[in-house]
Chains A and B, each alone.
Chain A
Amino acid sequence: MSLGGRNKLSILDKPLSRGKGEISLSCFALLFSEVVQYCQNKSQTLLDLQNRLHELGRRVGTKLIDIYFVRERNGKRETKLLSILLYVKSTFWKALFGKEADKLEHSNDDENTYYLMEKEPIVNRYISVPRDKSSLNCAVFIAGIIEAVLTGTGFPAKVTAHWHKGTTYMIKFEESVMGRDSQLEER
């Protein structure tokens, strides 16, 4: 009776969802807690744990690029540094977290560095960091997402998460990005 392949619409043949689906925060918080525990069980050191969370975040971010640019920008990508940063801060953040990121700042000391700040990242809402691991910021997962989005859209950068005014994501672009952007400016 069963014909193998019946109903087998590939995921790419289906229309792209509008991305308005919602899931309870409690669910996400508990799921994320399992993610952190899983990574922790695999790690020897705190750094190792952060790297694992960062890597998982990167994979999430990579997958979000296409969905969001197709859905919200008709597939049109950004070419300028400031535009992509504003895109991440506003459009992207809003789509993913339901609100814009709190603040975007350019570093005074380093041309290549930007800071994106958020008082209370959603992943940290129900996490209390043990005292002996006070440097751990699980928002490093989100840092991974940002890094993947920037790198994947042609702005290679390293993004890290720090405890500063809530959580601050430090975005450090590669030299080549800055060079190209100033060239674009000149035209």
Chain B
Amino acid sequence: MSRSTRFDTKKVNSELVNLTYGTLVAQMVKDLDNPDDVSKQLDRIGYNIGIRLIEDFLSKTGTARCLDLKDTADKIQTAFRLYLGVQPNVVNWSPAGDEFSFILDSNPLTELVELPENLKQLKYSNVICGAIRGALEMVQLDVQSWIVQDQLKGDQNTEIRVKFIRRLEDAMPAGED
């Protein structure tokens, strides 16, 4: 169904994105002393991107409401393909069905990246987790997302875990109560 949807083909060179993101991270590492703070900030940036990117996704794919979390996972998978040009696998479902992972064989964000020894705890790709969280929050899904495996740290794949927390109820806009 959504397979046949023709996506907007406007693309940019991945190295431009890659290096732009890398320079931003490097600048943050300079500005903030603690790599953990940088990771947090990267997640925040991802969140900011996610809450706006979801609009783009909905309008480009014309996708309908998700029926269950499996459906959601499939749609995020489409989003990976649409936005980053990679096709991750959805795996490692928890028995309760509220947690799953995306496995990426290659991560376009880290193509030209090497982490120095002193930044091994930096979660370089946290921006992706943030984006997933931000985007889902805009469709009333509260999730957590974090990096389990990271190719930058010598792992075979990059694994991003997503855990469903709760459905958000429609909240009244501030000041309207």
Contacts and interface: CB of A to CB of B under 8 A. Distances in A.
B27 A56 contact: yes
Given A60-B20, A63-B112, A21 B15 contact: yes
A1 to B, nearest CB: 13
Contacts of B10: 24-26
Interface of A is mostly: helix
Range for the number of chain B residues in contact with chain A: 35 or more
A31 B47 CA distance: 11
A60 B8 CA distance: 27
Interface stretch (A83-91, A95-103, A110-118, A178-186): A95-103
Contacts of B24: 31, 34-35, 38, 56
Interface string A27-61: 11011101101100010000000000000100110
Contacts of B48: 30, 34, 37
B113 interface: yes
Interface in B75-102: 82-85
B105 to A, nearest CB: 13
A22 B156 contact: no
B14 A21 contact: yes
Contacts of B21: 31
A64 B13 contact: no
A120 to B, nearest CB: 12
Nearest to A64: B19
B84 A23 contact: yes
Interface stretch (A2-10, A157-165, A168-176): A2-10
Interface of B is mostly: helix
Given A17-B111, A34-B49, A38-B27, A27 B17 contact: yes
Interface residues of A, number: 35
B49 A24 contact: no
Nearest to A7: B154
Contact of A6 (B8, B56, B84, B154): B154
Given A5-B154, A34-B49, A25 B12 contact: yes
Contacts of B155: 7
Contacts of A37: 48
A19 interface: yes
A127 interface: no
Given A35-B24, A38-B27, A96-B13, A24 B82 contact: yes
B49 A23 contact: no
A27 B20 CA distance: 12
A19 B114 CA distance: 17
A129 interface: no
B19 A23 contact: no
A122 B13 CA distance: 11
Contacts of A6: 154
A19 B13 contact: yes
Contact of A42 (B12, B13, B31, B84): B31
Contacts of A10: 114
Interface of A: 5-8, 10-11, 17, 19, 21-28, 30-32, 34-35, 37-38, 42, 56, 59-60, 63-64, 67, 95-98, 122
13 contacts: A21-B85, A25-B11, A26-B8, A26-B10, A26-B53, A27-B83, A28-B20, A31-B17, A31-B20, A31-B49, A59-B19, A60-B23, A122-B12
Q: Which 4 A-B pairs have the closest CB atoms?
A: A21-B14, A22-B11, A25-B10, A30-B49
